[in-house]
Chain A
Amino acid sequence: MKSFKSIPVTVASLMLTLPFYHAIASELDAHEHGSASLDIAIDTNTIEMRFESPAVNIVGFEYATDDDQQLLLIQLAKNNLSNFDAVFQLVGDASCQTVESSANWVTKHEEDDHEEGHEEAPASEHAEFIAEYQLTCKHVDYLTAIDVNLFEFFPDISDLDVQVIYSGGQIKQELDASNTLIRLAK
């Protein structure tokens, strides 16, 4: 029976460490390389989506550039991101049309919560890609799932935090390259 004593101890230490780990992870969500976020709001035949990712996940760098090749990369990424039908696939016969889509390079000045600590750069600069989409649908209720193809275009995104607000509730889901489907249970 001696060995049983160690199990509650191990479990207890797990319980102590894991929540803290979790708290830290969500604290740094603001700009975490490898991680991106996708917010989806659905109501009465309108779908609004907003994708945010550190630029390093999309083009591999975050500094302002005037290099032609890098500018081309940025333009290419913008084109891909703003093409809704390429990066997302709606499952179910909702008959949706993209009304608006945009993708932009946004620079954020952040001196405080910096994860990587480039000491040589005093005022470090973070850049993000923000893409926004608006769709109107004839039968939004028929939408059963959204398949996300972003990982194919941008393999540097290792995890995508998805939040969905819709008639079925408020859900949160984490996607990665092997799990790309957002299920919308009714």
Chain B
Amino acid sequence: MNLRSLASKSLKNRRSTAILTIVSIAVSVVLLLGVEKVRVNAKSSFANTISGTDLIVGARSGSIQLLLYSVFRIGSATNNITWESYQDIAQQKGVKWTIPISLGDSHRGFRVMGTSRDYFSVYQYGEKRRLKFSSGTQFEAVFDAVIGSEVANALNYAIGDQVIISHGTGSTSFAQHKDKPFVISGVLEHTGTPVDRTIHVSLAGIEAMHVNWQGAVKKRKASKALTEANLQPESITAFLVGLDSKVVSFKMQRYINEYSSEPLLAIFPGIALHELWSLMSVAEKALLIISLFVVLASLTGMLAVSLAGLNERRREVAILRSVGASHWHIMGLLITETVLLTISGILLGLILLYSGIWLAQPIIEKNYGLFIPITAPNIRELGMVCMLLAASFIVGLVPAYRAYRNSLADGMSIRS
């Protein structure tokens, strides 16, 4: 009988403690790898959200705040920027394109973003990918709306459906623009970015729905024809800038940051994202440290269980010795036992992790906009698992040594 089957049979005999040990290791594996998966995917999903944009311009605040509200629809702007300033900067030499962004309204928890038609042709995400329509087209009329794939899925909307937009960004709002419903003209393909959770309308549409609608109190009266010409917005929330050449990037940033008629802030999205990561790295490290301590706790638990079991197993050890097992056999048996427990724990942990991801995937995507794909463990994760195995081997040495010492001292006699 080899060591492995002997170890597993011995473990079977102590089923309940073995199962508990496996579960505690499994939980630590889920935590360790789960944190890693969320961390890596959060990073890549953030990094993939914007591409090809040279500058983001908003009211003067913090660079991370501007990045979060303009691109990720997290938080809100402290101030708006005037249409005149926007037009002035958009017409500067060296500016290739601009995309205005107007935020502040929502529809059933999804943010509504006013923008120009250029958005659909110029905006890039991931590796310079452009937005595509899965059905319909961009907005043509003032009250047309283009929705992201997740809005379409979650609310079961299709082209031609009407959307009533609420004032403010809560999921329930009492101030609704009921008199001016929008009609869905297009649905975008899935991008894995906040675009999926956004309802896009024209800037004119945003203006139009607020015409005759002041201070959250509706004034019911016949409104005159709403055409784009008389619906030029007074202000926008932020705008994205593409430049002719990257060489002028810093000059343009300085020009905007020192813009005299209005306090503005221009940021480089890549650099702001980098600043965000350096903030987040503290939390990331904290999570990693906590999960490492959980691993440590479960290994300590396993050690305690196997040390406590040793006394009860003196007879087992003695019998094995009597049938010819050497000291090395006994040590090998105990080390094999801990490694077997850890391997089972890791396997159970992986099963729990992947079924957990599978179950939670849609919920996480809907609530946090974070898509966690089911992918094989990467090298870093495999490394963590191997470290855990190595640690369990070392932990196994402790009871093995004790059993070795005991078997020398005890021989066949059993002290009562």
Contacts and interface: CB of A to CB of B under 8 A. Distances in A.
B129 to A, nearest CB: 16
A122 interface: no
Interface stretch (A37-45, A103-111, A151-159, A178-186): A37-45
B188 to A, nearest CB: 25
B406 interface: no
A50 B250 contact: yes
Interface of A: 1, 4, 7-8, 11-12, 14-15, 18-19, 22-23, 26, 39, 41-44, 46-48, 50, 163, 165-167, 169-172
12 contacts: A7-B289, A7-B290, A11-B286, A41-B246, A163-B268, A165-B250, A167-B246, A169-B270, A170-B270, A170-B271, A170-B274, A171-B270
Contact of A41 (B247, B290, B297): B247
Contacts of A18: 279, 282
Contacts, number: 66
Does more than half of chain B's interface fall in helix, strand or loop, or is it mixed?
Answer: helix
A22 B290 CA distance: 23
B293 A4 contact: yes
B283 interface: yes
B301 to A, nearest CB: 10
A166 B282 contact: no
A2 B62 CA distance: 40
B269 interface: yes
A22 B278 CA distance: 9
B275 interface: yes
B282 A19 contact: yes
Interface residues of B, number: 23
A48 B250 contact: yes
B243 to A, nearest CB: 9
A170 B268 contact: yes
Contacts of A43: 245-247
B246 A15 contact: no
A23 B279 CA distance: 9
B41 interface: no
> Which of B249, B282, B283, B293 has the most A CB atoms < 10 Å from its CB?
B249
Contacts of B275: 26, 172
Nearest to A45: B247
Given A4-B297, A23-B62, A11 B274 contact: no
A58 B293 CA distance: 47
B43 to A, nearest CB: 14
A15 to B, nearest CB: 5
B240 to A, nearest CB: 14
A11 B287 CA distance: 9
Sort A-B residue pairs by CB-CB distance and give the 5 closest, nearest first. Answer: A170-B270, A43-B246, A11-B286, A170-B268, A165-B249
A107 B386 CA distance: 59
A4 B282 CA distance: 19
Interface in B9-62: 54, 62
B248 interface: yes
Nearest to A50: B250
Given A7-B289, A171-B270, A165 B246 contact: yes
B286 A14 contact: yes
Contacts of A19: 279, 282
A141 B114 CA distance: 38
Contact of B249 (A11, A23, A41): A41
A42 B293 contact: no
